[in-house]
Structure 1
């Protein structure tokens, strides 16, 4: 296959611009071939395993194309290293406010090795999700090539220019099954100069739920709230069993004042220990990236979203019934669960979740297990039909990452 916009090596196609991406999709359509959309491969194990005729390698479609710190906006191509973007932002005292999770080490890879495209396609927000929203909430615009080989753009580079259909939010979290991203524009925010955390230890799941509800219902502006039961706390040096941890961020005087306010709110639940700047940052990175579960081989890992008031009790049920090691983020609304073996126990996990509502994603498991069970939460028939119609609109020939999210889609 010839292309003027990239290189080919066997069944791996490496475009350098949007025209090259369109050429690759057009050729796949003409040859009735399928494409795996990949960057650096750090999240290749997330989702159902797929077999495709060709790989569209976006690692060379990289680079920041726009950064206007005064306007709080950044645009970059999908192959741009996440570490490069974070370094550029940090130099100007700014950040990706949704605090994206870095799951590379959980998958057995290196930290900070992922790309902007993978981060966006997976929509993996971290602890600050409860105060700043998800990845898609910061998407201003996108350029992409559909499964019809048609380049398109949606949104803009400033909030006031974002008009029309909000396609960037639709593409965010679609795992490359709708279109191939060629540029992403995000809203960025100033980085808080000071952070500190408060910790209350020895809480049962029920008491932890009450403590987190009290903290989140206060005026203390908590930007992170997690619950670390005994098994996970034992994997985190200096953290006592049954600890509820709360993060405060901002300018120094504000953080100090709110720390006193929050200590008063949490007083009925026990004495508060203060975790200062560097230790606090390290703790929340560990919570964000599921660090307690690193180095645990092929043991299955679930990421479960539910009602915040249900999370700690659901985590306790999974620990009791399945022998899982669990912890909660998002003030209880996100449960991470490490199962004792390679089996995913998908039916049991989703049965435990059903009374509370939410969705469970099998983040890590052996390929055979990910092929056997639904990796993503099964959709209700009406929602599945809607998803199929959306897929038909963008990729009717099922060329892009076929079956990555659901079998046959």
Structure 2
């Protein structure tokens, strides 16, 4: 029986990877990623904050550091992770706790991505161990510090297929003083996407745009109280052609971030990225049991009947789909030949033995 690797230092991790002879599965807090077979590599022992400079908006921590610990630390200085990390434990029926390494490996982002970007956009530098057991450092602790290849952007979103993250340097931002959510009710999907696009294209700095079909369309404003109040009034006037605009009494954004409208429901769960202009037509073809639109329609969470062939129903569309829970037996969509060659070349360079494939 092969025991999981549980390194306490970067050097131990590198030694374990060099000695490995079979597939490796990187595991952080167990809240994301797949459940494929292989020898586990836990990053739990690689946690801890190494540097936090609130005045410089900079934080450096080990990959195994729980996100909850980072958010609690940042809250003491009125700061936050601007990319709004989703907590998908209830949605995916997982336990554990989300870690920094897992968040960067998934390039995670919540509703604020429409204005702030995803995790990779706040990643200043990182350290990781590749498939040959080599420790690699790239980037630094300030913006615009990269010379040569920007491996920070490459590793963010690689889902552990090129190496194991050990340390991450992040840019953090001040926490918004207040927020206000505007609500439009009962809009058909196409009109809801049009309303969200109008809001996002306005000068009123919308930081969240989501739609729950058959219920409500939500638009968030954040910032200083006086500014938010003024922008809310202006945005409400802009949206008047779409119907009556209400002001939400409580914030719905944690539930949108964590996709709670779909949590606890049976079925196959798909995460679909597409053009907002295609979103409503795509959803109409899917025959999904329930959906949630986020990012102004660029992100669609779809709950499908068990075993439904989403790709056959979807047909051709600009974007990609990933099954996070349920039956993905249709297999991956073949990559464009040029992209497939590039991907294979990267994997051969960083993981020539195929340990993380």
Q: TM-score range by the shorter chain?
A: over 0.9
- Is residue 133 from structure 1 mapped to residue 117 from structure 2 by the alignment? yes
SS in structure 2 opposite 1:316? helix
1:51 to 10, 27, 37: 37
Cα pair 1:315 1:328 within 8 Å, conserved = no
Matched, 1:292 2:293: no
In the TM superposition, residue 327 of structure 1 has moved relative to its aligned partner by: 1.9
**Secondary structure in 1 matching 2:353:** coil
CA distances 1:16-74 after superposition (whole Å, capped 9, x unpaired): 1110110110111xxx22211111211144xxx4221x211111111011111111111
CA distance 1:323–1:26, change in 2 (3 Å): closer
Partner-residue secondary structure (3-state), 1:338: strand
Equivalent position of 2:312 in the other structure:
348
Q: 1:338 aligns with which of 303, 310, 327?
A: 303
Matched, 1:144 2:128: yes
Q: Does 1:255 align with 2:228?
A: yes
- For residues 88-145 of structure 1, the C-alpha deviation after alignment (integer angstroms, 9 at most, x for no partner) is 11111111111121111111124x8211111111112111010001111111100011
Which residue number in structure 2 is paired with residue 316 of structure 1? Answer: 284
Deviation at 1:335, TM superposition (A): 0.7
Q: Confirm or deny that 1:264 pairs with 2:226.
A: no
Contact 2:262 2:291 in 1 (8 A): no
Contact 2:288–2:302 (CA<8 Å) still a contact in 1?
Answer: no
Displacement after TM superposition at 1:309 (Å):
1.9
1:15 equivalent in alignment to 2:4: no
Question: Of 136, 140, 143, which residue of structure 2 is paired with 1:156?
Answer: 140
Paired position in structure 1 for 2:348: 392
TM-score (norm 1): 0.84
CA distance in 2, matches of 1:51, 1:143: 26
Q: TM-score, normalised by structure 2?
A: 0.96
**Is the CA contact 2:181–2:220 (under 8 Å) kept in the aligned structure 1?**
yes
Instruction: Report whether the alignment pairs 1:360 with 2:300.
Output: no
SS at match of 1:142: strand
The total of aligned residue pairs comes to 357
Equivalent residue number for residue 339 of structure 2: 383
Structure 2 CA distance for partners of 1:92 and 1:229, relative to 1, 3 Å? same
Q: How does 1:175-190 map to 2 (within 5 A)?
A: 175-190=159-174
The answer (yes or no) to whether the contact 1:344–1:362 under 8 Å persists in 2 is: no
For residues 56-95 of structure 1, what are the structure 2 equivalents within 5 Å?
56-95=41-80
How many Å separate the matches in 2 of 1:151 and 1:391? 16
2-side partners of 1:178 and 1:286: how far apart?
32
Q: What is the RMSD computed on CA atoms of the aligned residues?
A: 1.6
| Secondary structure of the structure 1 residue equivalent to 2:133 | coil
